[in-house]
Each structure stands twice: as structure tokens, then as C-alpha cells.
Structure 1
Amino acid sequence: MAEAQLKLKSEAKMAEATDPLEKLRHFCLSKGYSGVLALGRLFRRMDKDRSFTLSKEEMKNGVAHFGLNFTDEDIDKLFKAFEKDGQAGINYEEFLETLRPEINETRRGVLDQAFKLLDTSGDGVVTLEELKKKYSVKNHPKVQRGEATEEELLKKFIAMFESSGSVDGKVTRKEFHEFYAGLSRSIDDDEYFVSIIKSSWKL
């Protein structure tokens, strides 16, 4: 329900936005909690030389491929807002960080609790094997009908949190926080956000 509200609210704000950055931010959020992560994956796939930078043309193509048609003027404004010292490109990690909603200390605290619960080894990374211990999908309809195995569904689930270029079946604390940035944006009340995370992960 919260994600559906986020999508509707973001679609409305996107329609009202005149600033290209705000329009892109709301467009990402209109795709759900992982909208910014999806844009990040797209940019990483485009970064063939692993330079971690985007040219103006790459940004234009990436944003268009993501589903948003910006004018050349909009792209110019976006690019100039991030380009520093006349560089040939912009750092897309910094660009994506600006798009992400900020998570305050209270919300980071409960997310850290949830991550610690999953990270049973304490090494700062949640693996598929660790997730299996805390998150069961054996009663999922697709598993019950024999349409998918528990392993397949868990791999899809853990992939939603990953923001790296390749899906490796591991989630870092940073990726965990980034995934929930969209949910955080949709909820004004800290206590309600905390209650959702605690309920979701049985804290």
C-alpha cells in the first residue's frame, strides 16, 4: 500500500515539476522503491569503459531509455547542475545520490537493526544463505503451485536490493538503505516508518 501511494504521489509531483532534476527524481520514485536503483543499473550498463562518468549524450540516452523524454534544454540544465570545472562528464554515483531521498538517523537506526538481523555472520554483507535463515517463501503461491522454487524466488528478492552492476546474490548495508529510500520518501511519520520495518522483518 505504501509503495502504491508513493507511485501516485510521485506521478502527481512529476506532472507539476518544472525543474529537470525534480522531475527525474519524482519519475524514479513513481517506479516504486527501487526506481533510483533501476536507473543506476542502467547507467552502469552504459558505462562500458568503467569510467564512472556520464557524458551529456549518455545521460540523454539513458534517461530516454528509462522512459522519460527530456528536451535538449532539460538535459543541458541537468548536466550543468552536476558538471564541475568543465569536465567532460559527470560522476553518476554522485548524480544518483542526489536523486535519492535522504534517510534520517531514526530511520537509519531501524534499518541497521533489520540488516544486522539478516547479516548473521556480521561481515557487513547479506548472502542468499543468510536470507534463507530469516525469510521464508515456502508458502508463496508460485512455490505451492510448483511454478518456481524457493531458491529462484529468494534470488529475485535479493536482487531487488542490489545496486551493483552485476547481480551477485549479496546485499551490502548501503544497498539495503538505498532500497528503502523510496519507502522513506513516501512516509512522513518516523514512528510509522519504524513500525513498517519492524513488522516486515519481525524485529
Structure 2
Amino acid sequence: MSRKRLQQLTDSLVRSAKHFNKKEVECLIKLFHTLATESRDRFAAVSLDRNMFRNILHCTFGITDDMIMDRVFRAFDKDNDSCISVVEWVEGLSIFLRGTLEEKIKYCFEVYDLNGDGYISREEMFHMLKNSLLKQPSEEDPDEGIKDLVEITLKKMDYDHDGKLSFLDFEKAVRDENLLLEAFGPCLPDIKSSMAFELKTFKETNEL
């Protein structure tokens, strides 16, 4: 990428990915190109495909649930073209790593709303909780325990009592109790992995 193009891209991304400064945006663009060229033939458009992105989520940020990784990919992939562009990468990481509570509530809701209809239904909760809970060998029917958990969750978070969570339900529940932000499975990096990523990625800016 030419210096001029890098400059233009950086200037534009500093405005849209507002949690990073100019130097940090440059580091993220360079990292993106390193990751994308490592696994692409040189004639393809520079982007991260689903597998490459899932690998980053898994190895760098410790996200292990297949369904959640897939949903995080979709949350980053704003134009739905099945790959992550450099703009989607930097803007996505801005929220993923440093988002405000408001931004993280929107992001987590988008991840958990599996069919994109604006609600988290009983079925969606069941799927996600079933994946994220450890199965107890002694249980006769582990599904029963998950159904109970779904009901308990609805009781706590479903403010308008319509049997599903709207964005407003989810937002109110999380504002009342921040721990509910990742109620249906970890889709944000823990502090340790996000700090390690930032230290490594922004190493040169930290040394200035």
C-alpha cells in the first residue's frame, strides 16, 4: 500500500473508528495487511475470510464457541460479503476492544440475535446457552436444565413480558446489571487478551 493511500485510509478511519488515535489506526492497518497477505494469493482482494478471522478470535482473544465466532464475524462484516475489509477490521476492533457500554450493548445484541429479526427468542437463547454450558455427566436430560435457565433469564430480562428479548429489554437489563452484557456466551475479549493484543499491536506507538 502506498504511503499516500495509507495516509488517506488512516485519516478516514480515525474519524469512524473513534476509539483509536492515528498511530494506532496505522498499526491496525499494517497488522491487517500482514494477516491478510499471509494467507492469500497475491492477486485476490486483500481481506480476511471467515476462517482466518475465526482463527484470530480463537487464538488471540480466546473465543471458542463456533456459533459465537460465526456471529462475531457477521457483526464485523457490515456489508455481508463474507469477508472482512480493512475498514470493517479497524471499525469493528474499535468497539470490540474499546467500545462504550452503549456500543457494546448494540454489538452483543447483534451477536445474540441469531436470525436478525430484532429479538432474542427462547429458541435462540436455548441454542446459545446449550453451547456455552458444560454438560454434567450425571444429568438425565441436560436440555431440561437449559430450559430452566432460559426461563430464569427471561424472568430477569424480559421487561415487557412478551416471551422474548427486544433490544430495549436487553439494554435495560444490562444497564441495571452490567454482568448480563455477555449473558448468552462470551463475544467480547477478556481484559487479559485485549491488553496483550494492544501491547503487541501498538508496541511501536507505546515506545514513542
What TM-score comes out, normalization by structure 1 length? 0.35
What TM-score comes out, normalization by structure 2 length? 0.34
Q: Which has the higher contact order (CA 8 A, sep 6+)?
A: 1
